[in-house]
Structure 1
């Protein structure tokens, strides 16, 4: 039997139902010369029983305990026979042409080493936050990308890499429970280009606000760890401009919160101390509100491409809500980074 050209590698932890949908979508792929290897990252027994092989070419490698997606991918990749490894997250679904487009690109370009695809901007749910998150990610990749078309980010939600290069690099760094894809990106990019293939797509349904905010916190924590060592920003998402957008957004929220606090205090002073002190506080409120408005204008300037894109897609109300929710997420991101540097300073 001929060896498969593509080896699809999927890490999974308690992802029975979502993984089954992914395996079904892979079974509907137009491209057939591939194998599927799932790294079960110590899932609970009840969840393991939900994972059913959809096709005969699906193999499951079971880890004895939960070691993180990096370890699950590494264990699965060790069994791979294909020339190209295709990495997918367990909560994605491929389209009928996803694998064929990957295979075509590698077959037609011997110099191609690594590529990353993109997840589409549409969500099945009508809830606001998943739709916002899908549009935010889509804008990062399609509206705010570098003009040269080359990307640092090797996004394992949908990415492909030659198997011999993966082996040469030693696989994913298992010390990273999160951001292992970014750490791998840096090692790939030292020697090879990672191209962005915007026609290689998967579908991904995003979670709610609190689940995503928790991931943002810890991804920011681990990214700060890498930034401390590299002292460099990235060309995608974690750019210098995105950092300035985050800082201006947090400053907007900070000045606004201070203004509200002073207004509350002002109400107490008016009823107790009289007019002299309250006049000073009124001036303070005005300055704080002006400061908030200045930083808001700066923030909107940095986000003008995203906000313009959202306005065309969803209208003004959705855009305003996106601006507010985005600022809250920026606060979470900076908290994650601050937590890392605080722990580092205390160690």
Structure 2
């Protein structure tokens, strides 16, 4: 049996709704020298993925880090390619990964990116897709010397992964960030913008819940390192988030001050005392601070806002020139405007 060059490792937990589409897209790849290994994290369902797919089933649910490590133990390829179970690849995704490692023997690890197209026309999935794409291609700190080893699509030499000890199974989330820190101590992680996969983002509340639980592991990483390292964000994005939260907080305080002002102004106590005037002054100050935070927020978001404007303008111009100009998402019959 020919030894594969790429070993594709996919963790799966009750992922029958998306895993089949990923495997189908992999089998349509123009590059063929690979193997597919699924780490089944004790799912409650059976996966029927056809021939050419090895399934390693864990006896109990231990998280994606353990599922990936179990898959790696069965891998035979020189390069490990990690994919999430809810993405699909393009026909040239694997080819580009293989070419980069073949052409650069010093390359140790790379990470790709989600594309910005979405099947859903809902606001939040569209926003999240554009936000992530803009971060990776438009807003990333230029002086950042390494990138997040994002397991949506990432590849690393198997010998290096083994030397590092694999994923830390104590992290049921954020395991890719934890591994990123260990890789970056000795090796570079490059960003390959042409290595792309497709991912359909969830709605607002599922993502809020996901990030809420991730915050626990973020705090655990910070306690271990005593250092905030914006590996998955930028300083601009951080300040933008702080000013945005500050603006919303001040707006909330504004309603409270307005309520107290009304109480004092229309009560006997208020008419005979200076309480109403005090809250009136607070309301004016709050309005000024809110305006300042809003301006700062928009200032730090300007790259992303300009990016959205350019995407929208390009899409509109493309449709005007050729209404039938479309691009197909991998594994989908739905068409989208080329942007």
TM-score strictly above 0.5: yes
Q: CA deviation at 1:39?
A: 0.5
Task: Specify whether residues 150 and 29 from structure 1 end up closer, same or farther in structure 2 by C-alpha distance, changes over 3 A only.
Answer: farther
Once residues 114 and 146 of structure 1 are traced to their aligned partners in structure 2, the CA distance between those partners, rounded to angstroms, is: 19
1:172-187 matched pairs, under 5 angstroms:
172-187=167-182
What is the deviation of 1:236?
4.1
**TM-score, normalization: structure 1?**
0.85
Tell me, in whole angstroms, the C-alpha distance in 1 between the residues paired with 2:158 and 2:243: 42
- 1:38 corresponds to which residue? 38
Map residues 298-317 of structure 1 onto 2, 5 A cutoff: 298-314=296-312
Whole-Å separation in 1 of the counterparts to 2:102 and 2:7: 14
For these two proteins, the number of residue pairs brought into alignment is: 310
Query: Which of the numbers 47, 52, 56 marks the counterpart of 2:48?
Result: 52
Most deviating of 101-110 and 247-256: 247-256
Aligned partner of 1:17 in structure 2 is: 17
Q: 1:118 — aligned with what?
A: 113
Pair 1:82 & 2:77 matched: yes
Please name the residue that 1:290 is paired with. Answer: 288
Match of 1:333 in 2: none
Greater Rg by CA: 2
Where structure 2 has 5 or more consecutive residues not aligned to the other structure, the ranges are: 314-339
What pairs with 1:1-347 in structure 2 (closer than 5 Å)? Answer: 1-44=1-44, 47-48=45-46, 51-54=47-50, 56-147=51-142, 150-272=145-267, 273-275=269-271, 276-314=274-312
For 2:90 and 2:229, the matched residues in 1 are separated by 29
Q: Which has the higher helix share?
A: 1
**Normalising to structure 2: TM-score of the pair?**
0.87
1:143 is paired with a residue whose SS is helix
Answer with 204-213 or 239-248: which moved more: 239-248
8 Å CA contact 2:111, 2:147 repeated in 1: no
Q: Residues 149 and 195 of structure 1 are in contact (CA less than 8 Å); yes or no, is this contact kept in structure 2?
A: no
Deviation at 1:27, TM superposition (A): 0.9
Unaligned runs of 5+ in 1: 316-347
Give secondary structure in 2 for the equivalent of 1:81: coil
**Quick one: distance in 2 between partners of 1:12 and 1:289?**
49
Q: Over aligned residue pairs, what C-alpha RMSD do you find?
A: 1.6
Aligned-partner SS, 1:200:
strand
Cα distance in 1, alignment partners of residues 245 and 299 from structure 2: 14
Q: In 1, Cα distance between the equivalents of 2:215 and 2:297?
A: 20
